[in-house]
């Protein structure tokens, strides 16, 4: 979506003083580069520099390594607001900050090496499409992975691999310089996320850079004890809801500019606004309740994890529905490459394809509900 500083000012005030305040110079940097002059597949270099300077790439890095270790409800508000300004920016923040969580699973010395530098940024993939062969001091990794967002800006890469000597999946951390980038990312949705494919050939990974997200984290902060899959799902859902907010704000401004205060367009605006707001309120309520519970106990009960994941999938569905409802009256503007609403429409559908929040997840979650009810 085209960055709109006025939309940022209008809706960001409630979060002033926190991470969203750090986002302001990032938005300014993005607004300074016209869509016609932006890279086709990644954020402008000036935006990445602003993100480094803001400290937002380290939103979820532990404080011990110079990070913010931000609570989940506040982080989701940041992702939502960034996505309302630009879908690629919101998605980049959600996925780029996620790598900071891995510090809680990596050994102390490794975590410090990776995350202490100011420009620390992780790219990679959680899909286990590579293999790891045992060595005396670690593993030998080989494979290809798709959609390693932010790869050109990354300092390290993490990837899930299947162990060849026994059943199991682990993750490995590798310096970005040891990874081959396969420039295949050509997309009209979330184009600025630099989600290229990557390849590793016979990369030696020492034992200190191998970690398992299925095991308990080394660090005990609430952020790191939150169910990882549920946390990730809410991050992407917040991006979808934010994109929908940006689309609604754009249509509202357009109708006001045209002096149109009645008719089908106004009715659709009302329905889309209600849908987007309901999605955000429900997602917030589920996450805030889960966070408060987790601060009082070591882990979330399965039914609470299920509730959060359901809220993420439903919020995404409602975000898509809100934008689709407005798209039906957009006409030929949907075909324009740099039209603000057109980009939001493409971006929200792009986010909704993420495996953690696609509506296909409803089958898995529905089975979980039935299992819980039978216990």
39-97 per-position pLDDT tens digit = 999 999 999 999 999 999 999 999 999 999 999 999 999 999 999 999 999 999 999 99
pLDDT, position 264: 87
Query: Cβ(135)–Cβ(101) under 8 Å?
Result: no
pLDDT, mean of residues 290-303: 97
How does residue 279 score in pLDDT terms, banded at 50, 70 and 90?
A: very high
Least-confidence region, from 4-13, 142-151, 310-319: 4-13
Please tell us whether the domain made up of 226-374 is placed in CATH 3.40.50.300. no
- Here the tokens at position 331 are 């006409």
How does residue 12 score in pLDDT terms, banded at 50, 70 and 90?
A: very low
- Here the tokens at position 337 are 């490459």
Query: Cβ(62)–Cβ(22) under 8 Å?
Result: no
Q: Residue 34 phi/psi, 5° resolution?
A: -65, 150
How does residue 13 score in pLDDT terms, banded at 50, 70 and 90?
A: very low
Question: Where exactly does CATH 1.10.540.10 map onto the chain?
Answer: 5-103
pLDDT, mean of residues 334-345: 87
pLDDT digits (tens, 9 = 90+) for 106-135: 999 999 999 999 999 999 999 999 999 999
How does residue 331 score in pLDDT terms, banded at 50, 70 and 90?
A: confident
**Percent of the chain scored above 70 by pLDDT?**
95
Least-confidence region, from 56-60, 307-311, 339-343, 362-366: 362-366
Contacts of residue 128, Cβ cutoff 8 Å, sequence gap at least 6: 160, 161, 162, 169
Other residues' Cβ atoms within 10 Å of the Cβ of residue 352: 22
Question: Where exactly does CATH 1.20.140.10 map onto the chain?
Answer: 226-374
Question: Where exactly does CATH 2.40.110.10 map onto the chain?
Answer: 122-211
User: Computed from CA positions of residues 140, 146, 151, 155, in that sequence, does the dihedral angle turn out positive or negative?
Assistant: negative
pLDDT, position 362: 81
- Here the tokens at position 220 are 């005990």
Q: Would you give the end-to-end CA distance of the chain in angstroms?
A: 46
User: Which residue would you say has higher pLDDT here, 258 or 254?
Assistant: 254
pLDDT, position 335: 77
* Averaged pLDDT of the chain: 92
How does residue 364 score in pLDDT terms, banded at 50, 70 and 90?
A: confident
Rounded to an integer, what distance in angstroms lies between the CA atom of residue 300 and that of residue 293? 7
Rounded to an integer, what distance in angstroms lies between the CA atom of residue 228 and that of residue 217? 10
**CATH number of this structure's domain 5-103, picked from the four choices 3.40.140.10, 3.30.390.10, 3.20.20.70, 1.10.540.10:** 1.10.540.10
Please tell us whether the domain made up of 122-211 is placed in CATH 2.40.110.10. yes
How does residue 370 score in pLDDT terms, banded at 50, 70 and 90?
A: confident
pLDDT digits (tens, 9 = 90+) for 216-244: 999 999 999 999 999 999 999 999 999 99
């Amino acid at each position: 979506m085209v960055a709109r500083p006025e939309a940022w000012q209008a809706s960001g005030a409630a979060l002033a003083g926190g991470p969203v305040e750090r986002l302001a110079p990032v938005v300014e940097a993005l607004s300074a580069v016209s869509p016609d002059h932006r890279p086709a597949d990644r954020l402008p270099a000036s935006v990445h520099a602003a993100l480094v300077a803001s400290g937002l790439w380290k939103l979820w890095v532990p404080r011990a390594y110079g990070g913010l270790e931000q609570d989940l409800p506040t982080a989701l508000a940041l992702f939502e607001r960034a996505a309302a300004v630009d879908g690629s920016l919101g998605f980049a923040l959600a996925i780029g900050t996620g790598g900071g969580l891995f510090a809680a699973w990596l050994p102390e010395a490794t975590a410090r090496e990776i995350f202490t530098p100011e420009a620390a940024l992780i790219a990679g993939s959680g899909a286990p499409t590579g293999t790891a062969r045992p060595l005396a001091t670690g593993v030998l990794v080989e494979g290809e992975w798709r959609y390693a967002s932010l790869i050109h800006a990354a300092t390290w890469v993490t990837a899930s691999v299947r162990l060849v000597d026994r059943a199991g999946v682990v993750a490995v951390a590798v310096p970005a310089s040891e990874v081959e980038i396969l420039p295949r990312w050509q997309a009209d949705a979330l184009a600025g996320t630099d989600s290229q494919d990557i390849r590793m050939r016979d990369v030696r990974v020492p034992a200190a850079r191998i970690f398992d997200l299925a095991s308990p984290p080394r660090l005990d902060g609430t952020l790191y004890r939150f169910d990882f899959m549920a946390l990730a799902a809410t991050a992407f859902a917040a991006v979808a809801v934010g994109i929908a907010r940006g689309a609604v704000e754009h249509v509202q401004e357009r109708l006001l500019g045209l002096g149109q205060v009645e008719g089908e367009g106004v009715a659709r605006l009302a329905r889309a606004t209600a849908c987007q707001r309901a999605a955000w309120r429900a997602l917030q309520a589920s996450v805030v309740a889960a966070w408060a519970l987790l601060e009082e106990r070591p882990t979330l009960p399965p039914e609470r994890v299920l509730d959060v994941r359901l809220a993420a999938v439903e919020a995404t569905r409602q975000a898509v529905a809100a934008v689709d409802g407005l798209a039906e009256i957009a006409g030929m503007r949907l075909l324009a490459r740099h039209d603000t609403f057109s980009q939001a429409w493409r971006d929200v559908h792009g986010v909704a394809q993420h495996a953690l929040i696609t509506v296909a997840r409803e089958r898995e979650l529905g089975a979980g509900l039935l299992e819980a009810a039978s216990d």
